[in-house]
Chain A
Amino acid sequence: MSVVHALPDATSGTAPVLEARALAARYGHVEALHPIDLHVAEGELVAVLGPNGAGKSTLLRAILGLVSNSGTVSLRGTPLPRQNPVAVASRGVVLVPEGRGIFGPMSVAENLELGAYRLRDRAEFARRRERVMTLFPRLKERLTQVAGSMSGGEQQMLAIGRALMAGPQVLLLDEPSLGLAPRVTEEILATLGTLNGEGLSIILVEQKAPLALELANRAYLLSVGRIVATLDPREITSYDELAQHYFA
């Protein structure tokens, strides 16, 4: 009997954590994302770049099944259910949505607790919470505070912390820097770098390409709903070169 193994991933030598094949998305009759192929290898941080309206958010929403999609998305080789964000999230594909989506009227502690909604193991819950407190010490001081009363940066930290409470296999972030001061943005992106350094696979959608490229192992460039280039950040030496991709 012969067994055909999946082809190893070119970049890291292991099967991808998340892989999309011919993934497309539509809003009504408008195809917002043309069929694309994309993957994230184990421990990789992949940036998705592109101008406004390129379909970056739609791509993340299509992976989760929040928009009507076609094609397949697999997690470590197992296809994910379609159009069922709850099931996809439960498998460990966790999205920090654009605009953060925190539960504003609830406390910081409650937000974190709801992140671990699926988790029954109390010891593991305590471990994850401790980890989030270490990553974002500011949240620790604000556990009882109403989440919506915090600053934008703190809310973004909470959104990421809440996602980490779910114990993600792969973390998807939609423009975490949106509306934040440069210093806070740097702090948050640095934390993503730390998490990635510990082996967490990440897809980062960012408008601020230079910041994202500093962290990324690889970057996809999206334009009008298509992947127009796959970039190796080490090969991007000047932003003029990047700009050419944007306007090509």
Chain B
Amino acid sequence: MADFSYIPQVLVSGLGIGCVYGLIGIGFCVIYNASGIVNFAQGAFVMLGGMITHGLLQRYGLPLLPAALIAIAVVALLGVVLERVVVRPLWDRKATMFTMILATLAAQIVIERLTLIVGGDQPKTLPVFTDLPPLQIGGVAVSFQLLWIVGASLLAVGALAAFFRLTRTGKAMRACAINREAAALQGIPVSRMLAAAFAISAGLGAMAGILITPTQYTAFNVGVPFAISGFIAAIVGGFGRPFGAFLGGLMLGLVQSLAILGFGAGWKTVAALSVLLLFLFIRPSGLLGAATK
């Protein structure tokens, strides 16, 4: 049986992974709000964030921070490419939800396999951002990487909130989420807003991937599990609610960590999917209630 004195420690690390799930979940919501599309290539962005940063460090010897920022920018751009090449042509033809899901899933597989060909099948990792021994806070070890994850995630969430609340483009994106047709009737370029949504989601995904890689590893095939967790976070939070998704991610991270402590690592996925089922049965509209379309 598990030793319950570990619980605070486990909760602290659950917070870290929870932030990462939350960022990925926000990505799902931002695209869904702009278009009604559930983007199943979200995991590819997460994987590419870690892989590209690793490539920039290894091959070009860049310092970590610039490498991470470049990777985020490149992945955000890839998000726009995905929107232009895969999503927009289908969207213009008024493709059904199923077509969209299959198309983005196909894109996920293509990106995954291309990464395998280019980067090989060996797992890679990144150095921790701050190489110091963990802080001891009331008997709980808090690693600097955890501080990075939580700090950067909160910063990203805050910046996103400000963007949606204060900027012209952010407000226009919210308008598209509320009523796309009415937004178009005001001359708001709805398809450009969709591209912006893909850029934001991809950037957040890449950021999540970069933040978590030093505590684990990255490889061509890490995307899908992360995407599934992010998707669950989005549903738990109330689909289409970016900040709900972040809370959902935190909750999922904590539950997973407790499950690992209580029952062993093999139960991690069981815990995640149980949370999903529980919410679908008891509160299908999520923590904050699904966004009304």
| A interface residues (Cβ-Cβ under 8 A, vs B) | 64, 66, 85-86, 89-90, 94-95, 97, 101-106, 110, 113-115, 117-118, 162-163, 166
How far apart sit A19 and B183, CA to CA, in the bound complex (Å)? 24
| Pairwise interchain contact A85-B184, C-beta atoms closer than 8 A | yes
| B interface residues (Cβ-Cβ under 8 A, vs A) | 168, 171-172, 174-175, 178-179, 181-191
| Pairwise interchain contact B184-A86, C-beta atoms closer than 8 A | yes
How far apart sit A101 and B178, CA to CA, in the bound complex (Å)? 9
| Pairwise interchain contact B168-A117, C-beta atoms closer than 8 A | yes
Q: List 12 A-B contacts (CB under 8 A).
A: A86-B189, A86-B190, A89-B184, A89-B185, A101-B181, A102-B179, A103-B178, A103-B182, A113-B171, A114-B183, A117-B188, A162-B186
How far apart sit A163 and B185, CA to CA, in the bound complex (Å)? 9
How far apart sit A104 and B292, CA to CA, in the bound complex (Å)? 10
How far apart sit A174 and B188, CA to CA, in the bound complex (Å)? 20
Q: Please name 17 further chain A to chain B contacts, defined as beta carbons within 8 Å, in addition to the given A86-B191, A163-B186, sorted by A numbering.
A: A64-B185, A66-B181, A85-B181, A90-B187, A97-B185, A102-B182, A103-B174, A103-B182, A104-B178, A105-B178, A113-B171, A114-B175, A114-B186, A114-B188, A117-B188, A118-B187, A166-B186
Majority SS of interface residues in chain B? helix
Q: What's the least CB distance linking B188 to chain A, in Å?
A: 5
Q: For residue B94, which residue of chain A has the nearest CB?
A: A68
Majority SS of interface residues in chain A? mixed
Which residues from B are CB-within-8-Å of A118?
187
A-B contact count (CB 8 A): 62
Known: A106-B171, A110-B171, A117-B172. A86 touches B182 (CB 8 A): no
Q: For residue A116, which residue of chain B has the nearest CB?
A: B186
The 3 closest A-B pairs by CB, nearest first: A101-B182, A89-B187, A90-B187
| Pairwise interchain contact B182-A97, C-beta atoms closer than 8 A | yes
Known: A113-B171, A114-B171, A114-B172. A86 touches B181 (CB 8 A): no
Which residues from A are CB-within-8-Å of B175?
103, 106, 114
How far apart sit A104 and B175, CA to CA, in the bound complex (Å)? 9
Q: For residue A65, which residue of chain B has the nearest CB?
A: B184
| Pairwise interchain contact A106-B174, C-beta atoms closer than 8 A | yes
